[in-house]
């Protein structure tokens, strides 16, 4: 296969010398031997230092070449191999129910694998998957919303996704800077003026990962896609990608419309608080609330939610989007991030602090004393609020929650705590499954700050979770205007907490020799299979039954005097 990088460089250098900075390969000069501009059909491509190759069909967004013309290119590969256009392992981009990859070069050991061409193929594959899901014929014209967080690769990937969808004959609603929950909401909103509801939504984000990463989350009116769906889309994308290498880029027949959807979404949040406060005008008047958006997409919460509700927001910080995240990682689990919002609360003598992750599907809070309301405390707080509304309901969490949280939910609040395996989609899907079996559940939360409520279509929405706290504040202020955030602090009174909590994360070297070219997952599964084989042959070993409690029990029986 002809190197995509060499082809691209030849196209870009159509009119004469061109300098390439930090190249994977070097190109001194590329020039056309013909001025006619038609698609290449069986033209001979002459490359310096390589054998002549035949290019059957190639085209690009910028230029195409004459049927009889030769391309002369003095191009050589650099020290590192140039990836061929047909060598992309799409399945390695899967990250559970999301897609994630490296979109920006510059970090050693992290080659770019989420290119614009890859993004186009994934977008076209999602459109095809969506058509199949809706059981629509090929003539059906879909409407797909596309939004992004503040990452520096967002715009190029947005354009690539837009091209992939419109080239497949479908329409795109471009939201620009948006939150992940808003993308799901766009599939539910009935607003003909703003072309909603969308048939599907794509959010361009990699949550709190470093600046060079990016990824995609997908939605339909049924919610976020699951692991099986993502695998299906990536397999389709791989086929689309291979076909595009032979057929070139297609003409864009879909329509692109720019929509200010975040204003619609924010208005819905405001209405939720007003309704909870009995439609009292400015129910948060007199409350001082500071927000830390971490230079992600959550800055809208100040001007479009808190201020219309009457809150004072002086001291809010890092509201401007900046994909390099210069102040701290936008992550409610991160120590530096929580210290930043805590200090903002104390410095400004605020009643409450709110912090969001990059794409606003996670959040945490800080009370007026500087006490962090995240991880187990936030789950306890949300459990207290939900169990007041739905006594006895089951709260589903991930497996790393504390025994103190279990005691708090079950003994103090009268609910049921159901631990399940990690992964926010796993937790949400388990809550949905419990409801389908007749066991009522209204809350699914991960210690990471993902929280989903049944009343909100089981969407993990950090902004909506904070609205639930605001509802509590607004309701309490009708009885006592000076209560501040004490009403929230009182709700978690009695929660037993560990003296020390440490989480260790190990970075896996995917290129380690022991992996033998495979993935770490494959390596881990091979070890587990070997272990099961050993257990089956040793009568003294017994395989423990599956459990979702997150606790491994081991007993050692010793006989003798």
Same-domain status, 425 and 395: yes
Torsion angles phi and psi, residue 78, rounded to 5:
-80, -165
Per-residue model confidence (pLDDT) at position 249: 62
| Highest mean pLDDT of the ranges 44-48, 209-213, 251-255 | 209-213
Classify 41 as helix, strand or coil.
strand
Same-domain status, 210 and 145: yes
Q: How many CB atoms lie within 10 A of CB 199?
A: 23
* Cβ atoms 358, 149 nearer than 8 A: yes
Same-domain status, 129 and 57: no
Q: How many domains does the chain have?
A: 3
Average pLDDT score over residue span 401-411:
96
> Where is average pLDDT lowest: 21-30, 131-140, 150-159, 217-226?
21-30
CATH of residue 196: 3.40.120.10
| pLDDT reading at 230 higher than 90 | yes
- Whether residue 547 is contained in a domain is answered as no
Which of 475, 491, 507 is the endpoint of a domain? Answer: 491
Query: Where do runs of H (alpha helix) occur along 358-449?
Result: 375-389, 403-407, 424-436
Q: pLDDT grade, residue 248 (50/70/90)?
A: low
162-194 pLDDT, tens digit per residue, is 999 999 999 999 999 999 999 999 999 999 999
In terms of Cα–Cα distance, which of 169, 195, 177, 4 is closest to 87?
4
In the sheet that holds 459-460, the strands lie side by side as 416-420, 394-398, 441-445, 451-453, 459-460
**Sequence-distant (≥ 6) Cβ neighbours of residue 419 within 8 angstroms:** 396, 397, 398, 399, 401, 406, 548, 549, 550
Per-residue model confidence (pLDDT) at position 32: 31
Q: Give ∠ CA 319-305-182 in degrees, rounded to 5.
A: 80
Average pLDDT score over residue span 438-459:
97
Same-domain status, 64 and 113: no
Per-residue model confidence (pLDDT) at position 26: 31
* Cβ atoms 388, 413 nearer than 8 A: no
82-91 pLDDT, tens digit per residue, is 334 547 999 9
The C-alpha atoms of residue 446 and residue 428 are separated, in whole angstroms, by 9
Same-domain status, 297 and 394: yes
Average pLDDT score over residue span 412-422:
96
The C-alpha atoms of residue 309 and residue 274 are separated, in whole angstroms, by 8
Same-domain status, 268 and 248: no
Q: Which residues in 272-384 belong to E strands, given as ranges?
A: 289-292, 352-356, 363-367, 372-373
| pLDDT reading at 417 higher than 70 | yes
What Å distances lie between residue 546 and 426, 527, 550, CA to CA?
A: 16, 18, 10
Q: DSSP of 524-542, one letter per residue?
A: HHHHHHHHHHHHHH-TT--
The C-alpha atoms of residue 55 and residue 38 are separated, in whole angstroms, by 14
97-122 pLDDT, tens digit per residue, is 999 999 999 999 899 999 999 999 99
Same-domain status, 311 and 445: yes
Per-residue model confidence (pLDDT) at position 506: 77
Same-domain status, 436 and 478: yes
Q: How many CB atoms lie within 10 A of CB 279?
A: 9
Q: Which two tokens mark 290?
A: 């500071």
The C-alpha atoms of residue 236 and residue 167 are separated, in whole angstroms, by 16
Higher pLDDT, 343 or 505: 343
Which of 77, 108, 126 is the endpoint of a domain? Answer: 77
Per-residue model confidence (pLDDT) at position 552: 56
- Whether residue 219 is contained in a domain is answered as yes
Which of 491, 507, 528 is the endpoint of a domain? Answer: 491
What is the percent of the chain where pLDDT is above 70?
80
- Whether residue 116 is contained in a domain is answered as yes
264-301 pLDDT, tens digit per residue, is 999 999 999 999 888 889 999 999 999 999 999 999 99
The C-alpha atoms of residue 401 and residue 418 are separated, in whole angstroms, by 10
- Whether residue 340 is contained in a domain is answered as yes
Q: Structural domain of residue 221, as residue ranges?
A: 90-259
What Å distances lie between residue 532 and 139, 421, 535, 541, CA to CA?
A: 51, 21, 5, 10
- Whether residue 545 is contained in a domain is answered as no
Per-residue model confidence (pLDDT) at position 551: 54
Same-domain status, 332 and 375: yes
- Whether residue 526 is contained in a domain is answered as no
131-162 pLDDT, tens digit per residue, is 999 887 667 899 999 999 999 999 999 999 99
> What pTM was computed for the model?
0.78
| pLDDT reading at 402 higher than 80 | yes
Per-residue model confidence (pLDDT) at position 284: 95
Per-residue model confidence (pLDDT) at position 89: 93
> Where is average pLDDT lowest: 3-17, 43-57, 204-218, 525-539?
43-57
Average pLDDT score over residue span 5-21:
38
- What is the β-pairing status of strands 94-95 and 352-356? unpaired
Average pLDDT score over residue span 530-543:
87
| pLDDT reading at 22 higher than 50 | no
> Where is average pLDDT lowest: 49-53, 345-349, 476-480?
49-53
The residue written with tokens 């991930």 in the block is: 398
Average pLDDT score over residue span 415-429:
95
Beta-ladder partners of 148: 177, 204
Same-domain status, 403 and 342: yes
299-357 pLDDT, tens digit per residue, is 999 999 999 999 999 999 999 999 999 999 999 999 999 999 999 999 999 999 999 99
Average pLDDT score over residue span 520-525:
79
The C-alpha atoms of residue 125 and residue 240 are separated, in whole angstroms, by 7
Average pLDDT score over residue span 415-431:
95
- Whether residue 342 is contained in a domain is answered as yes
Same-domain status, 485 and 365: yes
* Cβ atoms 462, 356 nearer than 8 A: yes
| pLDDT reading at 67 higher than 50 | no
Same-domain status, 123 and 177: yes
- Whether residue 199 is contained in a domain is answered as yes
What is the percent of the chain where pLDDT is above 90?
65
Q: What is the mean pLDDT of the chain?
A: 83
Per-residue model confidence (pLDDT) at position 98: 96
| pLDDT reading at 459 higher than 80 | yes
């Amino acid at each position: 296969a002809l190197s995509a990088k060499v082809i691209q460089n030849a196209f870009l250098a159509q009119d004469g010398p061109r300098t390439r900075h930090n190249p994977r390969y070097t190109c001194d000069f590329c020039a056309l031997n013909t001025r006619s501009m038609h698609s290449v059909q069986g033209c001979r491509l002459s490359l310096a230092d390589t054998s002549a190759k035949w290019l059957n069909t190639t085209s690009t967004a910028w230029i195409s070449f004459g049927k009889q013309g030769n391309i002369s290119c003095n191009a050589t590969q650099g020290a590192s191999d140039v990836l061929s256009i047909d060598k992309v392992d799409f399945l390695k981009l899967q990250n559970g129910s999301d897609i994630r990859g490296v979109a920006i070069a510059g970090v050693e050991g992290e080659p770019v694998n989420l290119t614009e061409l890859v993004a186009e193929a994934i977008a076209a594959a999602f459109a095809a998957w969506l058509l199949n899901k809706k059981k629509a014929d090929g003539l059906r014209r879909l409407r797909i919303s596309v939004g992004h967080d503040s990452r520096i690769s967002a715009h190029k990937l947005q354009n690539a996704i837009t091209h992939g969808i419109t080239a497949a004959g479908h329409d795109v609603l471009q939201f620009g800077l948006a939150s992940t929950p808003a993308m799901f909401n766009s599939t539910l909103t009935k607003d003909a003026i703003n072309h909603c509801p969308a048939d599907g939504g794509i959010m361009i984000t990699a949550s709190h990962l470093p600046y060079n990463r990016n990824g995609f989350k997908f939605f339909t009116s049924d919610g976020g896609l699951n692991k099986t769906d993502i695998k299906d889309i990536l397999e389709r994308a791989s086929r689309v990608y291979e076909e595009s290498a032979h057929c070139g880029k297609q003409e864009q027949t879909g329509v692109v419309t720019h929509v200010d959807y975040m204003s619609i979404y924010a208005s819905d949040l405001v209405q939720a608080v007003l309704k909870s406060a009995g439609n009292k005008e400015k129910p948060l008047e007199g409350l001082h609330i500071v927000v830390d958006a971490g230079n992600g997409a959550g800055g809208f919460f100040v001007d479009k939610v808190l201020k219309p509700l009457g809150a004072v927001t002086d001291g809010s910080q890092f509201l401007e989007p900046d994909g390099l995240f210069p102040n701290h990682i936008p992550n409610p689990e991160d120590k530096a991030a929580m210290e930043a919002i805590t200090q903002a609360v104390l410095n400004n003598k605020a009643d409450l602090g709110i912090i969001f992750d990059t794409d606003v599907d996670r959040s945490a809070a800080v009370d007026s004393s500087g006490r962090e309301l995240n991880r187990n405390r936030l789950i306890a707080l949300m459990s207290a609020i939900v169990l007041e509304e739905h006594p006895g309901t089951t709260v589903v969490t991930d497996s790393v929650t504390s025994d103190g949280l279990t005691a708090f939910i079950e003994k103090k609040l009268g609910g049921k705590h159901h631990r399940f395996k990690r992964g926010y989609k796993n937790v949400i899907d388990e809550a949905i499954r419990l409801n389908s079996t007749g066991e009522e559940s209204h809350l699914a939360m991960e210690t990471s700050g993902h929280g989903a409520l049944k009343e909100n279509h089981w969407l993990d929405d950090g902004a909506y979770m904070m609205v639930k706290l605001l509802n509590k504040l607004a309701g309490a202020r009708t009885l006592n205007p000076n209560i501040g955030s004490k009403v929230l602090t009182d709700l978690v009174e009695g929660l037993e907490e560990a003296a020390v909590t440490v989480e260790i994360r190990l970075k896996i070297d995917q290129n380690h020799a022991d992996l033998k070219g495979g993935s770490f997952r494959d390596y881990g599964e091979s070890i587990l299979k070997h272990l099961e084989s050993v257990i089956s042959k040793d009568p003294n070993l017994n395989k423990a039954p599956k459990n979702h409690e997150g606790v491994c029990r081991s007993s050692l029986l010793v006989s003798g005097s």
